[in-house]
Structure formats: C-alpha cells, structure tokens
Amino acid sequence: MENREVYEHWDKLNAHSLKGFSYEISEGKMNITEYLDIAEEKGKINYTATVIGQNNGKRVDFRLIRSDSVFVFSNPGHDFPKKIIYNKRSGSEILVTISNERDKEISYTLHKYPDNSFNTDYDEKLAKKLGADDYGMKSYFFVILKTGVSLITDTIDKKLTSEIFKGHMENIHRLVEEGKLIVAGPFGKNTKNYRGLFIFNNISSEEAAKELLLTDPAIKNGLLDYEIFTWYGSAALPEYLPVSGKIQKTKP
C-alpha cells in the first residue's frame, strides 16, 4: 500500500481460485490482518474476507457485479464496506476504493512487487542492527594469515614464542568481544604457508583493519603476516557467535 507498511499477498491455486492475506509490517515484524479468497462458484465470482478480530472470525462474502474497466464486489447487507472496487491503472498499480455507498469512502493505491521479490519473513529491525542491504548482505574485510618473516628456529626463545602466541589468542578473544572479529580459525597444512583466516566486521576501511591486525603480537613480531581482501557476504554471519559458546565443551 502506498505510503504505508501494509501489503497483500496472493497465490493462484488454479484457474478458478485465488487465495491471499493482508498484513502489516510493524517494528520489523509481519502481522496478518485478514485472510482473503477470490473464487468462481457456479459461474459466479465471490471475494471473501475474514478479518482478524472482527465479526467473530466469520467470513464476509462480496459478489462480483462488474468487471469491465474496473472490478466491483458488492455486499449490500454488510455495514462497512458494502462495496469494494479495484481499478487497474497499470500492470503494477491498482486503485482500491471501499465504501458504504453513502457517506463513507476510503481509497488507497496498491503497488505490485515483482514475483518473489519481497520476503514475508523480513525483519527490518534485525536487518538494520546487522547493517544488511536489501539482499541481506554486507561488506567485510577477509584476512588470510600466513607465515611471517621471523621463522621459529632454535635461535628464537621458545618461551617468548609461546608468550607471543598466547597473546595472539587473547587478542582474538578481545576482538570477538568487541564485535570486530566474527570468524577466526587455522588452515590445515598447505603449500602456500597459509596459517589461518580472520573476518572483520563493522570496520570502516582497510587502514582500520591493518591497525587491528597490528594489535596481534604474532603479527607485530613478524611470526605471522597477512593479506587483506574485501568480501561481500551474508549480514547474518555474526549471529552464529552466541550459539558457538553453547556448543564449546572445552574452553582454551
């Protein structure tokens, strides 16, 4: 509906029947307001509305009485509306008028979404929280960690190396708690000397990502090096983190 978060969804069941429902989007949640049917029975076409919280849940039928340039459905015995008029203005726009045929009339415009373009499970509040675009996606910084220039040899203090990698893990946990790091983990053995990966969340620039990487003592001391890429992925990715803590039996 134009200028309102009100929608109608319809499905064609067969050549003689359409089934739909009307709903509102409020605070990012979908609330169904009425169930709708248009069906041909014995050569007559009826429009049926069952409004949530009205008429004791009983259906109200309207008979199609005109279908030339507009579609007019009527129920003279109903209080309001007595008449529902659909005026097709274009392939994507319909003017709807409901009235009691005397002193009360309401009109509004419906705009058609392309088939399957609108997700009825859409949660606007959650999408905004996660920074999602219309496709539920966002940009991240994807970091590949690789072996650094300071190789671990007998000439390097093993105790110092152990402390450095302990700091590496502590820094990972800190960045996760701050909501800046959402994925971290090691690679298996490979010929490219790739050691692991990070995915940074809500970071404004590559320079900001580099500053975060330099807070890692393993990188700062040259035991690890890195490559940074921009990556476009699901904005829902951070949502797995609360679950991860519940399936971790042993803490490091």
Q: What are the structure tokens assigned to 117, written together? A: 């373009």
What's the gap between Cα 103 and its chain centre?
43
Residue 81: C-alpha distances to residues 156, 214, 232 (Å)? 85, 68, 49
Q: Structural domains in the chain?
A: 6-111 (no CATH), 124-244 (3.30.70.1060)
pLDDT score at 118: 64
Q: Where are the alpha helices (DSSP H) in 7-122?
A: none
Q: What does each of the 252 residues of the chain score in pLDDT, given as a tens digit?
A: 988 889 998 888 888 999 999 999 887 778 899 999 999 988 999 999 999 988 888 899 999 999 888 999 999 999 999 999 999 999 889 999 999 988 899 999 999 877 666 676 788 889 999 999 877 889 999 999 999 887 655 555 778 888 999 999 999 999 999 999 999 999 999 999 899 999 999 999 999 999 999 999 999 999 999 999 999 899 999 999 989 888 888 876
The torsion of the CA quartet 35, 60, 101, 87, rounded to 10 degrees, works out to: 40
pLDDT score at 82: 95
HSE of 233, CA atoms in CB hemisphere, 13 A: 15
Residues, the chain: 252
pLDDT one-digit tens code per residue, 33-76: 999 999 998 899 999 999 998 888 889 999 999 988 899 999 99
Q: Where are the alpha helices (DSSP H) in 95-240?
A: 124-130, 158-177, 206-213, 217-220
Is the pTM value of this prediction over 0.75? no
